[in-house]
Amino acid sequence: MADLNTIPLTTIKGEPTSLGDYAGKVLLVVNVASKCGLTPQYDALEKLHERYSAQGFSVLGFPANDFGAQEPGTEEEIESFCSTSYGVTFPMFSKIEVTGSNRHPLYDELIAQQPEAIVPEGSGFKERLAGYGIKPASDSDVFWNFEKFLVNRDGAVVGRFAPDTAPDDKLIVAAIEAEI
């Protein structure tokens, strides 16, 4: 397994960084999109970030245009949208790919460490997508915007939650609270 903290990343402002800059924090890594039915999750993500940041927690947003071209904007447009529409203050990163042959190494490692997402009881989300002909290449692939990976203070992935799991769902909150 690769060390998540050493994988090169770029902030939404174009500055080089890595998860090493967040070493010792509990992180919720989320692939986000501005034009998705799940986009309102930004609100709950921001509230989680605000609620637990003083305890060493941070949400990290990674815009991705992989699903239905629902993140078509530039970094500047994405940052402006998140700030003005949802008051996002958590760190945002440059647009990446989270599926396919050009998948970012961060997502290669997140998936390798946690190949299966917890799906909310009675969800049916994956089945609804399949009804539209949308199906991940493999069972371990990220299957839509707003899939969430929980990383502990030691840099290990300790949870993965399906896109339709609300950020303030008791499963996610309990998992965060167990790590902080």
Residue type, 83: S
User: Residue 40's closest CA among 82, 68, 10, 9?
Assistant: 82
DSSP 43-112: HHHHHHHHHHGGGTEEEEEEEB-TTTT---S-HHHHHHHHHHHH---S-BB--B--SSTT--HHHHHHHH
Cβ 118 vs Cβ 171: under 8 Å: yes
| Residue numbers annotated as active site | 36
